[in-house]
Structure 1
């Protein structure tokens, strides 16, 4: 069986039997046909079922190295996806043609570096909240609503789902607020006066009656506010202010933690405020702060 029939049978299997989406099948076609093209060049002949079974770890590593350093080099994430495609392909060969190659299991996916959160600067967060509060194109009560939510994200480190879960029985906000976060974990969060004032402004302007069991934050027609509305609001604000695409609602939570740490906050206390189950999750903000300090140092250093 030649390589064209091998690839065609695999793609038919994905389409007709596994019923994968057209784009997914196209991605597999690109991956496996690229693999075949490499093998043809690498071995001097097109792959066959016996030659696919006989490939060594060195052959697979040579292919991955080629994809890392070719005209369009792939990063670690793409290499890991490519390796997954090869394993899916060989699983098909084993089931359909009795062709196996256990050496593929010896190839490990590259370790992916942990991406650091991208907080706003202190000035950037302040400017964003001011713009949200003073946007002349927004209905006053809607502007107050959005400002209150964004202030909760930045001033208390809430997730957007947690801010939108605040109900009438929590109002007026006191000096602290008890919330249930991920995994049903409860935590008590200090509420700054600026947050209390912002939420009080919204409640004063909100045209809807909110009962004790009702979510506080309402849509323009009175229904429960959806997270997508605040996400779109952030998209508009970052466009107006020229902020990067990383300036999302969740970036305000990142900013809360990073700015607290930079101001001398205790890492374990920040863990409790964020509701992280593990301190290692919170420690990433120490890496953010160290990265920021190194960037400042490099910029200011006379020999930088």
Structure 2
């Protein structure tokens, strides 16, 4: 698919998978706008495209990802001074229904939950869930052998699929110390997912927050993307099979670094 030079320049700054997805999205936008150019689009033109996507019966998450591609492109074009303003600034994305309550936790709520956890294992559990963005079952399975050089952690996810993710600087020393204390062959936290769920739930309930471990995972994604992390980096960290799943939290592209590098982990 041939895109205008400015779009190709924009895609060069993204990871391969993100660029591949955005290439399709921008190509569809260009086809909708023709004969108008991408840089000649107005907010009304973009709203027309959004309406056309919804009329096709696409899932809200898919439409949201396509609009995220457009928003990211126009923000980049504005930053590169190719445009005097971005036509996508007031472009609204469709709401994606949350699959469970307590799914999204703000950084302020995360700080409260961490602070309410007992010092030691419970507080480290909350900080690890948020810092790694891992599923509660993945964190509960962590052992000493899963910690690797370079502050890397081997995580075993759904279908026994393995991935190696980065651990934030502020979490790594304590996690490593806990792993050494647990010893070879033992689980770092020594609890099952039900007990972990209760710890996080009770820490939130103390301040009227409906909290679950999954809320910390999604809080990781939302906070990292809001801080500028690349969608593909977040997708890898969370172990999502599809970039569309990750884009639920997104406004578009960003830096390629590990998502944990973008987080402020509460003490």
Length-normalised TM-score, structure 2 = 0.52
Which sections of structure 2, spanning at least 5 residues, go unmatched?
A: 1-94, 252-267
Q: Relative contact order (C-alpha < 8 Å, sep 6+): which is higher?
A: 2
Which of 184, 188, 192 aligns to 1:216? It is 188
CA drift at 1:274: 0.8
Give deviations 1:90-124, integer Å, cap 9, x for gaps: xxxxxxxxxxxxxxxxxxxxxxx852363211121
* Aligned match of 1:268: 232
Query: What is the 5 A alignment of 1:1-304?
Result: 114-116=96-98, 118-132=103-117, 135=118, 143-170=119-146, 174-200=150-176, 202=178, 210-218=182-190, 225-243=191-209, 245=210, 247-286=211-250
Q: Aligned-pair distance for 1:173?
A: 7.3
State how far apart, in whole Å, the 2-side matches of 1:120 and 1:252 are: 6
SS at match of 2:120: helix
Q: What TM-score, normalized to structure 1?
A: 0.46
Q: Which SS does the other structure have where 1:241 is aligned?
A: coil
Answer yes or no: is the 8 Å Cα contact 1:148–1:199 preserved in 2.
yes
Q: Return the index of the structure with the highest Cα Rg.
A: 1
**CA drift at 1:235:** 2.0
Contact 1:176 1:191 in 2 (8 A): yes
Alignment match, 2:91 = none
- How many angstroms apart in 2 are the aligned matches of 1:269 and 1:216? 26
Deviations along 1:239-284, one digit per CA (max 9) or x if unpaired, are 21221x2x21110000000000110111111111111111111111
Distance change in 2, residues 1:178/1:130 (3 Å): same
Q: Which runs of 5+ in 1 are unaligned?
A: 1-112, 136-142, 219-224, 288-304
Alignment: residue pair count: 154
The question of whether the paired residues in 2 share the 8 Å contact of 1:187 and 1:275 is answered with yes
Greater fraction helix: 1
**Whole-angstrom distance in 2 between the partners of 1:203 and 1:268:** 29
